[in-house]
Chain A
Amino acid sequence: MSKLIISPSPHVHGEFSTRRLMRDVIIALFPALLAAFYFFGLDAVKVVCISIISCVVFEYLIQRFLLETAPSVNDLSAVVTGLILSFNLPSNLPWWLVVIGSLIAIGVGKMVFGGLGSNPFNPALVGRVFLLIARPVEMTTWPLPSMLVTPDAVTGATPLAIIKEGLKNGLTIDEIKATSDYTFGYLDTLFGQIGGSLGEVSAIALLLGFAYLLVRKVITWHIPITIFLSVVLFSGTLHLINPDKFIDPVFHLLTGGMILGAVYMATDYVTSPMTHKGMIVYGAGIGLLTILIRIFGSYPEGMSFAILFMNAIVPLINKYMKPKLFGEIK
Chain B
Amino acid sequence: MIKTFKRGGVHPPENKISRNAALEQLVPEGVVKIFTSQHIGAPAECIVAKGDKVKTGQLIAKANGFVSANVHSSVSGTVLGIENVADYQGIKKPAICIQVEGDEWEGSIDRSAEINRDLSKTSEDILAKITEAGLVGLGGATFPTHVKLAVPKGKTAKAIIINGAECEPYLTSDHRVMLEKGEELLIGVQLLKKAVNADKAYIGIETNKQDAIDNLTRLAVNYGGIEIVSLKPKYPQGGEKQLIKSITGLEVPDRALPIETGCIVSNICTTFAVYEAVQKNKPLFENSITITGKNLKVQKNFIVRVGTPLSKLIDAAGGMPENTGKIISGGPMMGRAISNLDAPTLKGSGSVLFITEEEAKRGTKSNCIRCSKCVAACPMGLQPFLLYRLAELNMLEELKEKAVHACIECGCCLYTCPANLPLVDYIRLGKTRAMKLIVKPK
Q: Which residues of A line the B interface, CB within 8 A?
A: 1-2, 4-14, 16-18, 20-21, 72, 75, 77, 115-118, 220, 269-270, 272-276, 322-329
Question: Is A269's CB under 8 angstroms from B370's CB?
Answer: yes
Interface size of B by CB at 8 A reads 66
* B residues 336-382 touching A (CB-CB < 8 Å): 336-339, 355, 357, 359-360, 362-363, 366-373, 375-376, 378-382
B12, CB-defined interface residue at 8 Å? yes
Tell me, in angstroms, the Cα distance from A16 to B421 when the chains sit together.
Answer: 12
Q: Which of B326, B328, B420 is the one whose CB lies under 8 Å from A17?
A: B420
Q: Mark B148-183, 1 if CB is under 8 A from A, else 0.
A: 000000000000000000000100000000000000
B365 to chain A, nearest CB (A): 10
Tell me, in angstroms, the Cα distance from A4 to B10 when the chains sit together.
Answer: 27
For the complex with contacts A2-B357, A273-B372, A323-B378, 18 further pairs of A-B residues with Cβ separation under 8 Å are A5-B325, A6-B337, A9-B330, A9-B333, A9-B411, A11-B359, A16-B417, A17-B418, A72-B366, A117-B368, A117-B369, A117-B370, A274-B385, A324-B7, A326-B241, A326-B252, A326-B380, A329-B254
* B residues 253-287 touching A (CB-CB < 8 Å): 253-256
Question: Is A18's CB under 8 angstroms from B254's CB?
Answer: no
Pull 27 A–B residue pairs with CB atoms less than 8 Å apart, ordered by A.
A2-B357, A4-B327, A8-B337, A9-B330, A10-B334, A11-B326, A11-B328, A11-B335, A12-B12, A12-B355, A13-B363, A16-B417, A72-B366, A77-B369, A117-B370, A118-B367, A270-B369, A272-B370, A274-B375, A275-B372, A322-B383, A323-B381, A323-B382, A323-B383, A327-B241, A327-B254, A327-B256
Q: Which residues of B contact A17 (CB under 8 A)?
A: 363, 418, 420
Q: Which residues of A contact B371 (CB under 8 A)?
A: 21, 269
Q: Which residues of B contact A115 (CB under 8 A)?
A: 367
A75 to chain B, nearest CB (A): 7
Question: Is B414's CB under 8 angstroms from A13's CB?
Answer: yes
* B residues 113-171 touching A (CB-CB < 8 Å): 169
Question: Is A329's CB under 8 angstroms from B253's CB?
Answer: yes
B302, CB-defined interface residue at 8 Å? no
Question: Is A5's CB under 8 angstroms from B367's CB?
Answer: no
Tell me, in angstroms, the Cα distance from A6 to B418 when the chains sit together.
Answer: 22
Question: Is A326's CB under 8 angstroms from B379's CB?
Answer: yes
B241 (CB) vs chain A CBs: closest residue: A326
Known contacts A4-B325, A9-B336; decide if A326 and B254 are in contact (CB<8 Å). Answer: yes
Among B12, B333, B373, B409, max chain A CB count under 10 A is at B373
